Structure 1
Amino acid sequence: SDTVDLLVIATTADLHHRLATEAFGLGFRRLVIEKPVSQSVDEAFDIKLRAQEKGVRVIVNHGRRYCDAYARVRQLKGEMGDIRTVTLRFGGGALGCVGTHWIDLANTLIDAKATHVFAKETEPSENPRGVRFNDPGASVMIVYENGACAFI
């Protein structure tokens, strides 16, 4: 068959929105976008709306979900019961690149819908590869509908 089952967008984040928009016009039914899905909330919502209009299934690649350490944490979650607070730390900025994994892990552990997000961005350090690669850090608190909180 000459049909393509799946398209993967694994470029730098500044190209994700444009490439996803082009893919929707080409008739793809399934699209995997490397995280972060876009560089803004507006772009992410636009991708979501266009996908719904075209009947395209979009999946964000959170590959760390399948690492052994994450599997162990999920196993421990089942043994510990409901998790009320998650605190995750990493340094050096990179909220878009690394922080997305921690947010995904917190969401998995708490297993409830986020209702509020509070964040304070840190000053980005200049990336030697150029401004499009700047990825600042932040202090983030996520409050969930079940009363649990994540601190990242």
Structure 2
Amino acid sequence: MNPPKIKTILIGLGRIASKLENDQYRKKPCTHMGVLMSSFGKKHFEFLCGYDKNSEACLSFQNQWKKEYKTVPENGILPVDKSESIDLAIIATPSHTHEFYAKQCLKLGIRHVLIEKPVAMSSKGAKVIATLAKKSNANIWINHERRYHPSYKFVKNELINGNFGKIQSIRASVFTSAKNPGIAFSKFGGGPLLHDGTHALDLIHWLVGKPKLMKARMERPKKGMVESRAFAYFQSNSNIDIILDVSGGRKYFQFELDIHTNSHRIICSNDGFQFFQSVPSKLYQGFQSLKSYIPKQFPKPETSNAFLGIYKEIKEVFHGESNTMEGTLADNIQILESIESIYRH
């Protein structure tokens, strides 16, 4: 007998919730609704309703998916009754509203909540969510989806097993275009460091733990505005040097993690993964050089989908098949604290 499906609501019906599924270049599914409507999603999740304050977003959602929606009033209070049986709430609203809707979901008694990154606009707000979740014995996931990507998981496992040597340094860069910054440059605050750099810091925490900020520099277009660039130097507890460069002023989008070990170099990027290993040099006698190669067991592109990964974990935890949760709320509080240390520097 198959276990019952997970009764699910979706709060926020915009880009990451639904609309990006229309992007012909992205690997599908690439949105929350895309997962829920996939063969995997339909097997394990029962979609109940979508919610949004924007009536146009609601109509677009209905036209795309032919699913029920409810318009949220201006005060943001969800038209949901405590008597409704809801297992999972997905919060895909603008960042500054994450804490607000998380509180509502927990007070409604929803015991499984998936929140888009960042979980809140501050570590203080994230701690409020953590306190409420503990009281209600609820599970909170934050969608830093790269943790669930088979290629990133492969790199981490190889590093743990020592097959790539010992990490010496990491350079993380997140570059976006300020011509289309979205909420990052809005009146709500929080520039590219909070909204985009959080992905890089999440991977750094995932690989080496919470690092210590050594030095930082911020660039702001005008006094009082959110940053257009953040540059920071961290050190891990094991003395790994880490450079973080986040900018909203480029004419391109680039996410890259460049990891140097004592024997390898690994580049993890939205443009693909590259691997180099130390071999006897053909340029300099008696020296070693880095040579490009493809490691055995590296996941094939067709098997790599991060969005499915987090939902598979939710399904397993919900049904008691596993108690493992990647990217815990405690992790994300530390990530926000690292971001705040840069802002304060």
User: Into which bin does the TM-score normalised by the smaller protein fall?
Assistant: 0.7 to 0.9
Secondary structure of 1:84's match? strand
The aligned residue for residue 128 of structure 1 is: none
Moved more, 85-94 or 53-62: 85-94
Moved more, 135-144 or 49-58: 135-144
Shift of 1:135: 6.7
* Larger RCO, structure (CA 8 Å, separation 6 or more): 1
Higher helix share: 1
* 1:29-68 alignment runs, 5 A limit: 29-67=111-149
The separation in 2 between residues aligned to 1:72 and 1:9, in whole angstroms, is: 28
The aligned residue for residue 17 of structure 1 is: 99
Q: Pick the aligned partner of 1:4 from 63, 75, 86.
A: 86
Secondary structure of 2:233's match? strand
Higher strand share: 2
User: 5+ unaligned residues in a row in structure 2: which ranges?
Assistant: 5-83, 177-190, 245-345
> Is 1:88 aligned to residue 180 of structure 2?
no
Shift of 1:44: 1.4
Change in Cα spacing, 1:69 to 1:121, as seen in structure 2 (3 Å) is farther
> Would you say how many aligned residue pairs link Structure 1 and Structure 2?
143
The aligned residue for residue 120 of structure 1 is: 217
Change in Cα spacing, 1:19 to 1:135, as seen in structure 2 (3 Å) is farther
Tell me the TM-score normalised to structure 2 length.
0.37
Q: Percentage identity across aligned positions? A: 27
Change in Cα spacing, 1:136 to 1:34, as seen in structure 2 (3 Å) is farther
The separation in 2 between residues aligned to 1:85 and 1:138, in whole angstroms, is: 19
Structure whose CA Rg is larger: 2
Shift of 1:75: 5.3
Change in Cα spacing, 1:23 to 1:84, as seen in structure 2 (3 Å) is same
The aligned residue for residue 10 of structure 2 is: none
Secondary structure of 1:39's match? coil
The separation in 2 between residues aligned to 1:83 and 1:9, in whole angstroms, is: 35
Tell me the TM-score normalised to structure 1 length.
0.77
Shift of 1:124: 5.5
Shift of 1:55: 1.4
